[in-house]
Amino acid sequence: MQTRRYPQFFITKETKFSKLDIGTQIILNKEDSHHITSVLRLSIGDTIQLVDTKNQSAYLASLENKSRSDLKVKISEKLNLQSLKSPVETLVLANLKGKNTTLVCEKAVELGVSRIIIFNSERSVKKLSLDDKTLDRYNKICLSAAKQSNKLFIPEVILCSSLNEAITQLFTICDNSDLFFCCSLKQEDVLLSSMKTSTAKVHLLVGAEGDFTDEEYEQITAKGWKHISLGPYVLRSETAAIAGVAMLSALIGYKNEMPSM
């Protein structure tokens, strides 16, 4: 069992290698090479952890040179690690003001969600830009959080212009047997901690500051989402999103989901 943690990096399309096996030499991309050499200041012979997200497998590799552009490492060991994922497969999040969307993305990735859909709700104070630059920024945020928390996968990020588009996008990639929960401020909602556990995948919807509008609630209910309460207090949107993922993960339990070979 591996007890020591090593700096983790993902194998990307820019990574150069012939195969993933013990003794194989890997040439890392420019960004990772720079980070290892100039930021972490690792030396020849030091160890890093490499992750292949396609097969969700991990390896230890030692540095063979010091280069800021094409660092070479050699695989020394294949690790037997579990790819533990939260039962919350998707967090559907209204865009929040300030840096709160970034905060939620970071913590949701750390907690093990597989997908984050960010959308503009009617009460979003800050409107989300849907350009490639914004998508790239959130992909990098999720990549960094996945590295930090030693994930074997990088969550998918989807940007949507509205609640309707977000739900429509989700319904094209989920199963009918999945559970759909919406964090709500309505007093008649079911308390999450009182719900029975399930083995189904969960998709969690969280609104912006000021909650959803009545029209949005009608749309959510019509689409079959179950309204849930996280407790007796009024939570900020970022708190509700993070707490909701954490509570569902604890209530249902993490799952070891390896890709089919």
Domain architecture of the chain: domains with CATH: 8-79 (2.40.240.20), 84-256 (3.40.1280.10)
| pLDDT recorded at residue 254 | 86
Q: β-strand 255-256 against 84-85: which pairing, if any? A: antiparallel
Check residue 200 and give its pLDDT: 78
Amino acid 2: pLDDT? 56
102 touches 145 (CB < 8 A): no
Is the model's pLDDT at 192 over the cut of 70? no
Record the tokens describing residue 100, joined without a space.
């709160």
Please check whether residue 117 is in contact with residue 92, taking contact to mean a CB–CB distance below 8 angstroms: yes
For residue 261, what pLDDT is reported?
Answer: 42
Element (H, E) at 231: none
Per-residue pLDDT band at 260 (split at 50, 70, 90): very low
More confident residue, 1 or 229: 229
How confident is the model at residue 175, as a pLDDT? 87
The structure tokens 């308390």 sit at: 191
Write down the pLDDT at residue 194.
Answer: 60
Higher pLDDT, 241 or 56: 241
Q: Are 161 and 120 in contact (CB under 8 A)?
A: yes
Q: CB of 105 within 8 A of CB of 145?
A: yes
Average pLDDT, the chain: 90
Per-residue pLDDT tens digits for 60-84? 999 999 888 889 999 999 998 888 8
Q: How confident is the model at residue 186 (pLDDT cuts 50, 70, 90)?
A: confident
Q: Measured between alpha carbons, how far is 179 from 225 in angstroms, rounded to an integer?
A: 8
Identify the bridge partners of residue 93 per DSSP, sorted by sequence position. 118, 206
